[in-house]
Amino acid sequence: MNLQISGHHLEVTPAIREYVTGKLDRVIRHFDNVIDVSVILSVEKLKQKAEVTVHVRGKDIFVESEDSDLYAAIDSLIDKLDRQVIKHKQKIQDHHRDEKNIPVAE
């Protein structure tokens, strides 16, 4: 998995980098097929914004979150991403289950 963390109008400190990677580990435990992760942290006046794009096989999952505190924005972002990854994983499992139950026409 490739992880890229960048900041717009913000310096990505080692503490922020460690916090983001620690939180992303939780999401990656749910889903093994993560190819690429891109995180963008930005500051716009009084809003702290966090965006993530997760590239998995067959789909790109994009999530963004805003808050007055950067760490709260990251927490909210990870919660949203976790829900979307679990939903995507269940969709894949449901589709594979449907393929097995298709009757063969003779």
| SS3 of residue 105 by DSSP | coil
Q: What is the pLDDT, as a whole number, of residue 14?
A: 95
Alpha carbon of residue 29 to chain centroid:
12
Percentage above 70 pLDDT, the chain: 89
Confidence band of 100 (pLDDT split at 50, 70, 90): low
Q: What digits encode the pLDDT tens for the residues 43-65?
A: 988 899 999 999 988 889 999 99
Task: Count the Cβ atoms, other than its own, within 10 Å of residue 38.
Answer: 16
Residue 31 is given by DSSP the state -
Q: Are 53 and 62 in contact (CB under 8 A)?
A: yes
Residue with tokens 């289950």: 97
pTM across the whole model: 0.82
Q: What digits encode the pLDDT tens for the residues 78-93?
A: 999 999 988 888 888 8
